[in-house]
Amino acid sequence: MSDRILMGHGSGGRMMHELISSHFAPAFGMEGMGDAAVLELREKGRLAVSTDSYVVSPLFFPGGNIGELAVNGTVNDLAMVGAEPLYLTCGLIIEEGMLIADLERIISSMARAAEEAGVRIVAGDTKVVDKGKGDGLFINTAGVGVVPEGVSLSPKKIQEGDVIIISGEMGRHGMAVMAERSGLSFDPPLMSDTTALNGLVRVMVKAAGAGLRAMRDPTRGGVATTLKEFAMESGLAIEMDEERLPVPPGVRGACDLLGLDPLFVANEGLLLAVVSDDVSQYLLTEMKAHPLGSGACVIGRALSAPAGKVLLRTSIGGTRIVDMLEGGQLPRIC
């Protein structure tokens, strides 16, 4: 026995079976050790499927770790199309030499995150790569959910006059990871916002009905990139009001110190929704009654022109165009 991952743990033999049966199966409640699971879809509707990979560095950061990030991120990808997430799979690529105690912490956090989101991890895969070739741990996930009848979300449904709602504060995940990576400390500490948003989305779908046009979680690329996607896919313009953007003081201070723009900083527990103006106030009231939507607010609206552009109305009364970055401000964020 060893306290670290060895190449034999990915061999397909006894060591790998012992790793799975001792750590993964009990945490995830898996029955048997097959490569696939047979699932029951409890609800009628259309199938939603998502896949993602997580390579965040460091593996542990203030407010979370790569494991719960992987579960929450996949749940959120399903929720953003209005789906009820049901099942996840996970594939782990583990670097030789990783502490089994660290792996156990990550597995436990994945199990806890899945339970809180109301989903099951039903299948997975484990591979081990040579030391120096895996950066500790990479996780790949797939998610399956059901879109209830009558729910249909798409940026193509955005109309002129629709309003843009954000569910809470911006930039917390990206700056928490950056601070940890760089050995920086802030007072109060910056904490990642990683969480599953499907409970909040359920409330929003019920409250807004057909008035809910589209949703996205602004992860890599941040709020600006997500709004640019809305603009390009809808053929409309999106205008933001800089004074309404909910940037917490810690995030703003860290961005100023590091020369970053909070509009492009990643989030992992935040959503952007485009809704018709006539349901926006009722939807905001319902969102604010939910713990994950207590900071929800309107930050802008859809305009007819200039098509495909995102505009920022600045605090000094001017207007500037906001575009996607060519690359990323912060690599290895999720």
The full set of domain ranges for the chain reads: 7-148, 155-322
Residue 300 CB burial class (10 angstroms; 0-12, 13-18, ≥19): buried
* The CATH number of domain 7-148 is 3.30.1330.10: yes
pLDDT above 90 for 52:
yes
- Backbone angles phi and psi of 79, in degrees to 5: -65, -30
Question: Helix, strand, coil: what percent of the chain each, to 5?
Answer: 35, 25, 40
Which residues of the chain form beta strands (DSSP E)? 45-54, 60-61, 64-65, 84-95, 120-129, 137-148, 163-166, 212-216, 237-241, 272-275, 297-303, 310-313, 319-322
CA–CA separation, 30 and 124 (whole Å)? 10
User: Which of the pair, 227 or 35, is modelled with greater confidence?
Assistant: 227
pLDDT of residue 10: 76
Chain Cα centroid distance, residue 197: 8
- Average pLDDT over the chain, rounded to an integer: 93
Please tell me the CATH code under which domain 155-322 is placed: 3.90.650.10
* Radius of gyration of the chain from its Cα atoms, rounded to whole angstroms: 21
Residue 97 CB burial class (10 angstroms; 0-12, 13-18, ≥19): middle
pLDDT of residue 36: 81
What is the per-residue pLDDT across 254-300, written as a single tens digit (0 to 9) for each?
999 888 999 999 999 999 999 999 999 999 999 999 999 999 999 99
Please identify which residue in the block is written with the tokens 């790998």: 16
**Predicted confidence band of residue 1 (pLDDT cuts 50, 70, 90):** low
pLDDT of residue 186: 82
pLDDT above 80 for 116:
yes
Are 7-148 and 155-322 the same fold in CATH?
Answer: no
pLDDT of residue 33: 55
What is the per-residue pLDDT across 134-172, written as a single tens digit (0 to 9) for each?
899 999 999 999 999 999 999 999 999 999 999 999 999
What is the per-residue pLDDT across 195-241, written as a single tens digit (0 to 9) for each?
999 999 999 999 999 999 999 999 999 999 999 999 999 999 999 99
